[in-house]
A and B are shown apart, each in its own frame.
Chain A
Amino acid sequence: MIELLQISRGGSGGVTGAKILAEAALYEGVESQAIPKYGSERRGAAVEAYVRFDDKPIRIHSPVVEPDIAMVLDTSLIERLDLLKIKQEGIIIINSKEIPKAFKGTNRKIAYVDATAISLNLGLVAGGFTLVNTTMLGAFAKATGLVSIENIIKGIEHTLNPRIAPKNVEAAKKAFEETKVETV
């Protein structure tokens, strides 16, 4: 089983992104589960979501505690990551122009892309929030290879309104091209 912890800000589409990822995994022939963590979260607050992938039915329903993959949709939230809990052989995917200093010397595999710039260029903004959820799914496909970019696109088209899906597809594709993976 592969487990993902995603941290985003309420309003940036993180919960929808996790759902799309579960749908994309289905096309990939992988069992999946997307759990949004509800509580007093609101727009702008840090929001967690968990996604599980497995080749057999998933019987675990509790939140992910020790993720294989951590994905952070907002650079200012990286300090919320507990590196001790993320598996050493795992990967951290961040929305950032460069690898943040905090990761230097951690011997971690980091994938990074300036998702905010990609989304802004495509006009993916709603209610004052830049929507980076689908953009980061492109980064996820590139960084992990768990789900192909084709299936991410299929997932976006299945889940989102046809009016807004094309821009989101473009954002995912662009992020897929631009994501860099390095071990620091």
Chain B
Amino acid sequence: MVGKTVTLTGNLAAGKAAEMAKPKVIAVYPITPQTDIIEYLSGLVSSGKLEARFITVESEHSALAACAGAAWAGVRTFTATSSQGLLYMGEWVFWSGYGRLPIVMPVVNRCLAPGWSIFVDLQDSMAFRDAGWIQIYTKNNQEVFDTVLQAFKIGESKDISLPVMPCLDGFVLSHTTAKVELPDPEEAYSFVGDYSDPVVEVDVDNPWAYGGLVGPEQFNIARRDLMKAMERAKAKIIKVNKEFEETFGRSYGNGLVEQYGDDDADLTLITMGTMGDEADEAIDQLKQEGYKVNGVRVRTFRPFPVEDIVRIAKKNHKLFILDRAVSFGHEGPLRIEIEAALKRYNLDIPTSGDIVGLGGESVPYKRIMKIAKEALRS
């Protein structure tokens, strides 16, 4: 078989990537705008095209609990969710992260209620910043496919063993049809590889306690291990991005950040998700009008690419951060991270920023151009 070019929604792109990675256990509960992903996989399992245990449960809390059980048993595990569903999973999101269970769970970003809305912002996944999950944000349907495939390889690596959340903007990607290059399924599987050497694998003949009571000493060993694994994940994501490029001819910056434009620009716009793609369009248009603007799309929010941000900031002294979520009582979460990164390296670079696109508000490139021009003037 060979690869082919197709048109797919972002949800189906995520579903196809999961299909090619052949998870053994898929435990799910539906929620808009994620549901197409699990419906697609459900169809594959029921028609015998995918050999997996497909577990339907009564809530998201149980869905992720079932996934955690499967991951403890040492098999490749997949689920997906959004918004309120992710919140309802909450307890198990932390269990899975702190338990080092390499589950792959696309989060189709949707704002949180109230008001009741089904559209995109990043408030849902941002709420789980500290849950010990790798978070990778995507800009188009191709990157959704590529990232879900990469997620298994990154998370399941023995030196990492962490769950991964590939994040895609609800509706803007999940329900939009666009071109996607699909690799040959065998080549895709061989890129991911077997999950043959899990860190944790329940052995009924050799019983152990998992998640048992521990004292402060063991507790701190585990937490420090997790901190180190997250730090190692940076190099792993860079490596997997490179290997992906060698195999399939596509890459996303260095894997952690993607830069568009020149280092000597007068302004650097820092964004995430589809806003990054839209910002690139704005940057080209601004260039035609004589403005020099640089674009940085933060792809991995966890681990946070501190070194890349610092490297770019040193050359670009005017930073403007576009956030699609809020840390109430402070700023946008992305801006907070950028400022902390600069501070850590004693860089005295003031930032400015704005919170845009909440609850599905559209952020067209013309608006980004206007924001950039205002930032350049101030």
Binding site for B on A (CB under 8 A): 18-19, 22-23, 26, 31-36, 38, 57-63, 65
Report yes or no: A22 in contact with B278, Cβ–Cβ below 8 A: no
Given A26-B5, A38-B118, A65-B364, CB of A59 within 8 Å of CB of B280: yes
Q: Give the residue name and chain of the B residue nearest to A159 (CB).
A: B7
Q: Inter-chain contact count A-B, CB under 8 Å?
A: 66
**At the interface, yes or no: B59 with Cβ under 8 Å from chain A?**
no
Number of B interface residues at 8 Å Cβ cutoff, please give it.
25
| Chain B residues near A38 (CB-CB < 8 A) | 33, 118-119, 171, 175
Are B176 and A62 in contact, with the CB atoms below 8 A? no
Residue of A nearest to B365 (CB): A60
Residue of A33, A57, A61, A62 near B177 (CB, 8 A) is A33
A153 to B176 alpha-carbon distance, docked (Å): 21
Residues of A within 8 A of B63 (CB): none
Among B118, B169, B173, B278, contact of A60 (Cβ-Cβ < 8 Å): B278
B178 touches A62 (CB 8 A): no
At the interface, yes or no: B196 with Cβ under 8 Å from chain A? no
Q: What are the residues of chain B within 8 A of A35 when measuring CB–CB?
A: 172, 175-177
Alpha-carbon distance A40/B119, docked complex (angstroms): 12
Q: How far is the CA of A61 from the CA of B5 in the complex (A)?
A: 20
| Cβ of B129 under 8 Å from chain A | no
Q: Which residue in B33, B118, B169, B179 is a CB contact (below 8 Å) of A61?
A: B169
- Provide the residues of chain A in CB contact with B281, threshold 8 Å: 59-60
Bound: A8/B268 CA distance, A: 41
Contact with A along B66-101 (1 / 0, CB 8 A): 000000000000000000000000000000000000
| One of A32, A60, A62, A65 near B179 (C-beta < 8 A) | A32
Q: Give the complex CA separation of A19 and B173 in angstroms.
A: 14
**6 A-B interface contacts by CB (under 8 A):** A33-B177, A35-B177, A58-B178, A61-B169, A61-B176, A62-B278
**Chain A min CB distance to B26 (Å):** 25
Label chain A's interface by main secondary structure: mixed
A140 to B: closest C-beta gap in Å: 16
B362 lies within 8 A of chain A by Cβ: yes
Q: How far is the CA of A19 from the CA of B175 in the complex (A)?
A: 10
For residue B187, CB closer than 8 A to chain A, the reply is no
Q: Say yes or no for B277: interface residue by CB 8 A criterion.
A: yes
Q: Which of A18, A19, A62, A63 has the most CB of B within 10 A?
A: A62
The CA-CA distance from A62 to B176 in the complex, in Å, is 11
In contact, B362 and A62 (Cβ under 8 angstroms): yes
Shortest distance from the beta carbon of A31 to any chain B beta carbon, whole Å: 6
List B contacts of A63 (CB < 8 A): 362, 364
B7, A61: Cβ atoms closer than 8 Å: no
Given contacts A19-B7, A22-B7, A26-B7, contact A61 B172 (CB under 8 A): yes
Q: Which residues of A contact B172 (CB under 8 A)?
A: 35, 61
Closest 9 CB pairs of A and B: A62-B364, A34-B177, A61-B274, A59-B277, A62-B362, A59-B281, A33-B178, A22-B177, A23-B7
**B363 contacts partner chain A, Cβ-Cβ < 8 Å:** yes
Contacting pair B179 A31 (CB below 8 A): yes
Contact present for B177 and A19 (CB under 8 Å) = yes
Residues of B within 8 A of A34 (CB): 7, 176-178
